[in-house]
């Protein structure tokens, strides 16, 4: 005979409550620190509105009452050009507003921590995602489980990997792409457009297509660099060149125009800068402004919010792409743990950041093999920042 739930002994539930209380006390946040990191890249990385030879990060350490330290990272491109945050603004807002809101809060209550940060500061999604990542890392280490377990568990252990070509020099990019194929790291490529006139960009893309193996997957990222008229004029050339996906060709605010070009384009359009919040995801996906959505922690503000945005996209029939902002292995690992829990990641991920840095910021960085990037398996994020490298590239105030 089955015992009714209400008549079952309560000891198990009391023990669970006690265990929860013990975990909350153990994971209460004792301190938070943030440092600005400027890590050199192997070559210039050009976007439609900037060019960089050093990548800027906010590096966060969260220390729990049990002594466990969690690490997180927020990335930006050349200051507040890709989005409104700069590393300087992130540090100021973490030190002044976000960290004080978290001190004493149990890191194991990640959802409540996100609410506290939302109350302490509007937007600031990259700064919030770095803190969220550090808390996730610390709790995973406390419980001796990989971070993905705290998010529902991994559904995949590796991801098809994409490398971005963005020097603007077709000859250099051909050699770079061939090198990636030879090493077995990447055989899919995203080509940054929008920093030259469209015909120059298209000639560069044609040179790449001619030099790379037949059937090589090529994605065009215009980084908001075109107008609607430019797109109408030049999309036939992208079709002829066999481009499989076009990322954010128009400015982020032009959602109706994005919907118009998506309706007429034979190539799928991917939303990126235009979608950060749940509301923007609902508006963009609902309006048909793209059939693919790029997910980034720096846009969504944390792992749970990223998963909610992904859920809206999937409900609308929009496919998912694992975006990056040149994160080191630390920030990339945070993304991979979240990506691994999604039912589908249709387009794989472009988390190539660790390989474009002169030195990765982690001593045990991500593994790239067989054209895939592999999910770390250790506790927390599963990677370890190298203190010597962090100190070497930390900005000296």
Q: Encode the chain (397 residues) as per-residue pLDDT tens digits.
A: 333 333 333 333 435 666 677 999 999 999 999 999 999 998 766 665 566 678 899 999 999 999 999 999 999 987 777 678 999 999 999 999 999 999 999 999 999 999 999 999 999 999 999 999 999 999 999 999 999 999 999 999 999 999 999 888 999 999 999 999 999 999 999 999 988 899 999 999 999 999 999 999 999 999 999 999 999 999 999 999 999 999 999 999 999 999 999 999 999 999 999 999 999 999 999 999 999 999 999 999 999 999 999 999 999 999 999 999 999 999 999 999 999 999 999 999 999 999 999 999 999 999 999 999 999 999 999 999 999 999 999 998 7
- Enumerate residues 6+ apart whose C-beta is below 8 A from 373: 158, 159, 161, 332, 336, 349, 351, 366, 367
Q: Is residue 233 part of a domain?
A: yes
Domain boundary among 144, 168, 200: 144
Helices 303-315/110-120 angle, 10° precision: 90
The pairing of strands 217-221 and 245-247 is parallel
Q: Are residues 132 and 161 in the same domain?
A: no
Active site residues: 192, 350
What is the pTM for the complete model shown? Answer: 0.93
Q: Is residue 256 part of a domain?
A: yes
Q: Are residues 355 and 314 in the same domain?
A: yes
User: What is the secondary structure of 92-113 as a DSSP string?
Assistant: HHIIIIIHHHHTTSBTT-HHHH
Residue 252 CB coordination number (10 Å): 17
How many structural domains does the chain have?
A: 2
Q: Which domain holds residue 40?
A: 27-144
CATH number of the domain at 81, please.
Answer: 3.30.390.10
Q: Is residue 3 part of a domain?
A: no
Q: Assess contact for 362 and 378: CB atoms under 8 A.
A: no
CATH number of the domain at 212, please.
Answer: 3.20.20.120
Q: Are residues 194 and 333 in the same domain?
A: yes
Show the CA angle centred on residue 302, arms to residues 296 and 305, nearest 5°: 85
Between CA 107 and CA 23 the distance in angstroms is: 9
Q: Are residues 190 and 336 in the same domain?
A: yes
Domain boundary among 94, 123, 144: 144
Query: What is the SS3 assignment for 8?
Result: coil
């Amino acid at each position: 005979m089955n015992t009714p739930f209400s008549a079952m002994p309560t000891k198990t539930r009391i023990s669970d409550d006690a265990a929860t209380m013990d975990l909350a006390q153990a994971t209460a946040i004792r301190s938070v620190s943030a440092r600005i990191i400027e890590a050199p890249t192997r070559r210039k990385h050009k976007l439609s509105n900037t060019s960089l030879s050093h990548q800027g990060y906010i590096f966060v350490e969260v220390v729990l009452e049990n002594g466990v330290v969690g690490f997180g990272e927020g990335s930006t491109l050349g200051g507040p050009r890709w989005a409104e945050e700069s590393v300087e603004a992130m540090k100021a807002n973490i030190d002044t507003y976000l960290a004080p809101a978290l001190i004493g809060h149990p890191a194991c209550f990640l959802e409540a921590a996100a609410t506290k940060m939302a109350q302490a500061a509007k937007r600031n999604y990259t700064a919030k995602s770095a803190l969220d990542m550090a808390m996730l890392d610390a709790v995973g280490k406390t419980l001796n489980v990989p971070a993905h377990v705290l998010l529902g568990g991994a559904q995949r252990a590796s991801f098809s990997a994409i490398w971005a070509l963005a020097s603007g020099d077709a000859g250099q990019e051909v050699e770079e792409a061939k090198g990636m194929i030879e090493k077995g790291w990447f055989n899919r490529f995203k080509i940054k457009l929008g920093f030259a006139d469209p015909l120059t960009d298209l000639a560069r893309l044609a040179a790449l297509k001619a030099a790379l193996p037949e059937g090589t997957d090529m994605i065009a990222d215009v980084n908001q660099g075109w107008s609607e008229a430019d797109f109408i004029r030049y999309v036939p050339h992208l079709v002829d060149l066999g481009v499989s996906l076009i990322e954010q060709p128009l400015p982020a605010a032009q959602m109706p125009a994005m919907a118009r070009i998506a309706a007429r384009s034979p190539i799928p359009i991917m939303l990126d800068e235009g979608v950060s919040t749940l509301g923007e995801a609902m508006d963009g996906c609902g309006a048909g402004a793209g059939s693919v959505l790029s997910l980034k922690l720096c846009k969504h503000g944390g792992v749970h919010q990223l998963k909610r945005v992904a859920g809206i996209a999937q409900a609308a029939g929009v496919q998912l792409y694992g975006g990056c902002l040149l994160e080191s292995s630390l920030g990339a690992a945070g993304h991979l743990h979240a990506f691994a829990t999604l039912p589908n990641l249709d387009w794989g991920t472009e988390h190539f950041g660790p390989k474009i840095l002169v030195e990765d910021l982690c001593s045990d960085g991500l593994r790239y093999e067989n054209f895939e990037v592999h999910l770390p398996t250790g506790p927390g994020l599963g990677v370890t920042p190298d203190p010597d490298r962090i100190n070497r590239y930390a900005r000296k105030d």
